[in-house]
Amino acid sequence: MKCTRCRSRAEVYLRQHNSGFCRRCFVVYFHRQVTRAIEHERMFTTEEDVLVAVSGGKDSLALWDTLHELGYRTTGLHLSLGIGAYSDHSTEKTKRFAETRDLPLITVPLAEEENGLAVPAVAAFTHRPACSACGVLKRHYFDRLALDRGFPVLATGHNLDDEAARLLGNVLRWQTDHLARQHPVLPPTHERFVRKVKPLFRVTEYETAVYAFFRGIDYVIEECPNSVGASQLLYKEVLNRLETTSPGTKLTFLQEFLNKGRPAFAEGEPVPPQPCESCGMPAYGHVCSYCKLVREVETKRERTRRHA
Amino acid sequence: MKCTRCRSRAEVYLRQHNSGFCRRCFVVYFHRQVTRAIEHERMFTTEEDVLVAVSGGKDSLALWDTLHELGYRTTGLHLSLGIGAYSDHSTEKTKRFAETRDLPLITVPLAEEENGLAVPAVAAFTHRPACSACGVLKRHYFDRLALDRGFPVLATGHNLDDEAARLLGNVLRWQTDHLARQHPVLPPTHERFVRKVKPLFRVTEYETAVYAFFRGIDYVIEECPNSVGASQLLYKEVLNRLETTSPGTKLTFLQEFLNKGRPAFAEGEPVPPQPCESCGMPAYGHVCSYCKLVREVETKRERTRRHA
């Protein structure tokens, strides 16, 4: 098979686009998909400082690499979650990526923060599933650091597979409030929130893996030992099954949702958040999810100490 | 395992309801699900004459049997599609079912109708997929016969698997017009149309098979040789995969769509159909789909004759 762009030997074939690419042209294709997402959805401009959430995995590093290559002004934000060797490796890969490209990186080791909230400790103290605790912590630190450091926009590495799986989960239960909020660009609903964007929403997990490989990006290959929710993995598997028979299913599913499905659910103004009584960040109750979590942990720690 | 109702030995276990049933209680359960569908969705009353579309397969015969057992006034309508031995067997089983229960049955052999439109002939003359031609023919004859014979309502044997698969197909492409029209009860959009209902929409394909077996219903086991569209089968497979991991997925998917999803798409009055210029039945163009098909067949036949 020949490269669709330059007619040299193709190294990768994308069935959903009926196109083959050599290494060089695949990178061009990938950058174009991301550019299209950024420009078409008005995610940010080259004049804005973009905070990129980087875990050290292929998606977030492929994102950071792409944004840097395309000339955007980026700073990495890495949370060291405290999940044993997995987190150590992730932090190491992220730091090395930033150093070799001379890119600014903010690293936050959660265990060393004021409340010492590494993911395993929080999960153990609250008996919440680790992924749920991790989500609350990430959202809080992303929001707070973006605000504190004056970034107008936060970019995450969610790819097409992530977004299509999330959409399928929302649709299987017809969670209309979640459907109304699912979009690759979420404008801030409060002055203390920043815009959140997903520039990789048009490229598949396979494509980000190929990109990382072709670009020689050294990323953490091991999955988080807490693993993603089983249902998310099942939804991805099912969508891949549909994609195999009908290439383009995932992109159509997400794109047509954005064009025709979501508008039906997103009518009316969303309820604006109110300042959290405890930390002042925007919250949908008296206290934000993060502060609720902190309180839970503190109560349990106190009890454990008294019983010791 | 014991029967959830009577504590005797269970012969069937339904994971989505976490219930087991003996033969007798399963039949009671099945009748209750259908009654709930009919009453909750106001499909029809015991005072109305219900025309039941029967193919001779397990779903439509299970439906007819159930409605008869529940005391509804039913007449069967069977179209003999002319698809070789498959159609002969189907017609045979349907006739025997009606005879043994002394139920009125209208049989229409398509090949003997005015235009001689058996499915294989139509498919061959028009180069349409057989299933598409068959769908047009069925819809037309169902509508026309219900109208001509004065039935206010037509019931079909679509089960939960059929409806969930159809919903998934509509959702994967976000076909909002199809989503707006998907409902177990479709009120007539024109005075020459009748109400169309699907009383089995709450029971799975597996459950109708078990019902038919427990009730000793003799149905055509062979599938139509033209087979259902491959995509419909794939959607069923994928939904079964999700159901296995998370029992109840199919019912929640469909039920929550009806509760929360569909209302978002079904706003505004649907465009009313106009009388077909050719046959007078309601149509969404100058000529209805059936008459278009008839014209196509006639043109091709004429051409074939001239070349002969």
Q: What is the pLDDT of residues B74-89, one digit of tens each?
A: 999 999 888 888 889 9
Residue B305 pLDDT: 81
Task: Report whether pLDDT(B125) > 70.
Answer: yes
Instruction: Map residue A53 onto helix, strand or coil.
Output: strand
Q: How far is CA B39 from CA B33, B102, B197, B248, in A?
A: 10, 26, 12, 22
Task: State phi, psi for B185 to the nearest 5 degrees.
Answer: -130, 120
Q: Could you tell me which residue, A114 or B289, shows the higher pLDDT?
A: B289
Q: Does B266 touch chain A (CB under 8 A)?
A: no
State the nearest Cα–Cα gap between B48 and chain A, in angstroms: 34
Pick from B156, B147, B183: nearest CA to B282: B147
Backbone torsions φ then ψ of B274, nearest 5 degrees: -115, 155
Question: Nearest 10 degrees: CA dihedral of A171, A249, B159, B109?
Answer: 150
What are the structure tokens assigned to A298, written together?
Answer: 């503190």
Give the pLDDT band (50/70/90) at residue B219: very high
* Cα–Cα distance for residue pair B19/B40, rounded to 1 Å: 22
CA distance A291 to A276: 8
Residue B189 has pLDDT above 90, yes or no: no
Q: Do A172 and B230 touch (CB under 8 A)?
A: no
CB A46 within 8 A of CB A71: yes
Which pair of tokens denotes residue B154?
């037509």
Closest chain B C-alpha to A37 CA, distance in angstroms: 20
The shortest C-alpha distance from A19 to chain B (Å) reads 22
**Interchain contact, A260 vs B174, CB within 8 Å:** yes
DSSP state of B13: E
Residues of B in contact with A238 (CB under 8 A): 238, 241-242
Span B205-217, pLDDT tens digits: 999 999 999 999 9
pTM metric for this prediction? 0.91
Which residues in chain A are contacts of B160 at CB distance < 8 A? Answer: none
Is there a contact between A86 and A100 (Cβ–Cβ < 8 Å)? no
Query: What integer is the mean pLDDT of B96-119?
Result: 87
- Identify the residue among B167, B168, B172 best suited for mutation to test binding to A, counting A beta carbons within 10 A and taking the highest: B172
Burial of B106 (0-12, 13-18, 19+ CB in 10 A): middle
CB-CB contact of A266 with A255 (8 Å): no
What ranges make up the beta strands (E) of chain B? 12-14, 19-21, 49-53, 73-80, 105-109, 153-155, 185-186, 195-197, 274-275, 282-283
One digit per residue, pLDDT tens: chain A, 308 residues? 899 999 999 999 999 999 999 999 999 999 999 999 999 999 999 999 999 999 999 999 999 999 999 999 999 999 988 888 888 999 999 999 999 999 999 999 887 776 767 777 777 788 778 778 888 889 999 999 999 999 999 999 999 999 999 999 999 999 999 999 999 999 998 888 999 999 999 999 999 999 999 999 999 988 877 765 678 899 999 999 999 999 999 999 999 999 999 999 887 667 788 999 988 888 888 998 888 888 888 888 888 888 87
pLDDT at B114: 66
Choose from A168, A173, A174, A176 for mutation: most chain B CBs within 10 A: A174
Distance (Å, whole) CA A229 – CA A239:
16
Taking the CA of residue B164 and the nearest CA in chain A, the distance in Å comes to: 10
The 10s digit of each residue's pLDDT in B1-13 is 899 999 999 999 9
Nearest CA to B215 out of B13, B3, B31, B87 is that of: B31
What is residue B126's predicted lDDT score, i.e. its pLDDT? 80
What is the structure's pLDDT at A174? 97
* B174 closest CB neighbour out of A230, A234, A261: A261
* Chain B residues within an 8 Å CB radius of A265: 264
Q: What is the pLDDT of residue A243?
A: 97
DSSP state of A58: H
Inter-chain CB proximity A253 and B172 less than 8 Å: yes
- Is the predicted pLDDT of residue B228 greater than 70, yes or no? no
Q: Which residues of B255-286 are buried (b: 16+ CB within 10 A; e: fewer)?
A: bbbbebbbebbeeeeeeebeebeeeebbbeee
- Chain A contacts of B264, Cβ < 8 Å? 176, 264-265
* B13 token code pair: 């276990």
A217 DSSP 8-state letter: -
Distances (CA, A) of B14 to A234, B62, B266: 22, 18, 33
CA distance B132 to chain A (A): 20
B264 contacts A264? CB cut-off 8 A: yes
Compare CB distances from A245 to B234, B241, B265 and report the shortest one's residue: B234
Pairing of strands A105-109, A73-80: parallel
Mean pLDDT of chain B: 92
Q: What is the pLDDT of residue A268?
A: 67
Q: How many CB pairs under 8 A join A and B?
A: 60
pLDDT at A195: 96
Rounded distance, CA B95 to CA B86, Å? 14
